[in-house]
Chains A and B, each alone.
Chain A
Amino acid sequence: MIRKIISIALLILGLAMAVYGGFFRKFLVYDNLEKFDRLKNVGITIKIPGYENASESFTPESQWFSEPDVVRAMTFEGIKRYKDEKLISNYPDLRMLKGRIPCPT
């Protein structure tokens, strides 16, 4: 009986975590300025599917990612911590975190 009470209590906690994590939790993720600048300085055009402009037209941006979005980005190691503890994209542009297939580990 005690086992079942503990089980149900933990289950309710788990459901609450799933709902909060899955639907409400957000992370602010920034463009990778270092990679952006490095590529811009050497005149490389960053090609993103559906976005074919030259690198000069990029402006660094931030975007709120839901936890499932971050989970997906983690499948290809798409997000990291910057020196100032901000979350930044591992790729020059945040849009590169969308629609990308996972990399080999």
Chain B
Amino acid sequence: MEKIRLKVQVISLALLNLGLFQWQTICFPVLNCHSCPTALFSCPIGILGQFVGLGLVPLSVVAVVAITGLTVGRFMCGWICPFGLAQDLLYKVPYVKFDIPRWTRFIKYLIFAGLVVAVPIFLSPGFPLYFCRLCPVATVQSAVPWALINGTADTLTLSVRLVILFLIVVAAMGHRRFFCKVICPLGAILSVTNRFALLFPERNTNCTGCGVCNKICPMETSKEKGSFGVYDKAPEECISCLDCKDKCPADSIKLWG
């Protein structure tokens, strides 16, 4: 399953950044910066911030994210998001691995409320603390490519962005899906609807409570034996990677919740 997921992620990365045409009237619910010279769709976080900065709610964007969240939940994070792929690959790099406290998962909600919504409303989308000005995905896909294309850039801004990107890369090498767990504001929105998603892993009566699913869960939804973390403990964190379904010795996990 992991190999299939990797292939899907690579194909998604290619399709979302084909560069053959742009269809940016539509938001695609993954963190893929629309300022990337080759991006196909708009980033919902970037558009949301710009709209709320004008005192408007982008209904179609909110609807796309809500419909995605309610149908497939954070499946997009696990299978489609290009930055998810980057983090999966970064974690394979031999480096010091570390744990993070459980409370850090709430930081992403604060980032969404603060840097994506409050900063544009009370300050401006042009303010340096607006999420897109700091977003590591935008640094990789937009700030660096455009600096190279134009041959010039605001050195201070680019330096700050590169430092943030470096820190997140290091964190992603040491902790699996660090950005998804702690920072991603889109992950925060999808987390809210994840509990209600139609596509969701669920266990049946074959479960022996061995706890293998929890051990291999990339989102570390639970460490307890006898529980099925993604369902019982932290359904908002599940990215539907299906590693648990793959490794379950009793074949007790099915995808449709």
Residues of chain A touching chain B, judged by Cβ–Cβ distance below 8 Å, are 3-4, 6-7, 10-11, 13-15, 17-18, 20-22, 25, 27, 67-72, 74-77, 79-81, 87, 101-105
Nearest CB in chain B to that of A75: its residue: B34
Given contacts A6-B196, A75-B47, A105-B33, contact A14 B125 (CB under 8 A): no
Which 8 residue pairs are nearest across A and B when measured between Cβ atoms? A21-B59, A21-B60, A104-B146, A68-B25, A18-B63, A17-B63, A74-B50, A7-B196
> A interface, by DSSP: helix, strand, loop or mixed?
helix
- Knowing A101-B22, A105-B35, the reply to whether A71 touches B61 (Cβ < 8 A) is yes
| Bound CA–CA A18/B60 (angstroms) | 4
Q: Are B25 and A69 in contact (CB under 8 A)?
A: yes
Q: Interface stretch among B64-72, B81-89, B96-104, B209-217?
A: B64-72
9 interchain pairs, CB-CB under 8 A: A10-B66, A11-B66, A14-B66, A15-B63, A25-B59, A67-B59, A71-B47, A75-B34, A77-B50
Contact A75 B70 (CB under 8 A): no
Is there an interface contact between B60 and A17, defined as CB atoms closer than 8 Å? yes
Q: CB-CB contacts of B191-228 with A at 8 A, as 1s and 0s?
A: 00101111000000000000000000000000000000
B249 within 8 A of A: no
Q: Interface residues of B, CB < 8 Å — how many? A: 47
- Does B24 have its Cβ within 8 Å of any Cβ on chain A? yes
Residues on A with beta carbons closer than 8 Å to the beta carbon of B51: 70, 74
Chain B residues closer than 8 Å to A27, beta-carbon distance? 56
- Are B60 and A105 closer than 8 Å at their CB atoms? no
Chain B nearest CB: distance from A28 CB in Å?
12
Shortest Cβ distance from A22 into B: residue: B60
User: In the assembled complex, how far is the CB of residue B18 from the closest CB belonging to chain A, in whole angstroms?
Assistant: 15
B25 and A4: CB pair below 8 A? no
Is B119 interfacial (CB 8 A cutoff)?
A: no
The answer, yes or no, to whether B143 is at the interface (CB within 8 Å) is yes
Among residues of B, the one whose C-beta sits closest to the C-beta of A5 is: B196
Whether B63 lies near A67 (C-beta < 8 A) is no
Which residue of chain A has its CB nearest to the CB of B50?
A74
Residue B240 interfacial (CB < 8 Å): no
Interface contact B60-A72, CB-CB below 8 Å: no
Interface centre among A4, A13, A18 (most CB of B within 10 A): A18
Contact A18 B59 (CB under 8 A): yes
Please give the distance in Å from A12's CB to the nearest CB on chain B: 10
Residue picked from A14, A20, A68, A77, most chain B C-beta under 10 Å: A14
- B42 on interface, CB distance cutoff 8 Å: yes
Establish whether residues B54 and A79, one from each chain, have CB atoms under 8 Å apart when the complex forms: yes
Q: How far is the CA of A54 from the CA of B67 in the complex (A)?
A: 47
Chain A neighbourhood of B111, CB < 8 A = none
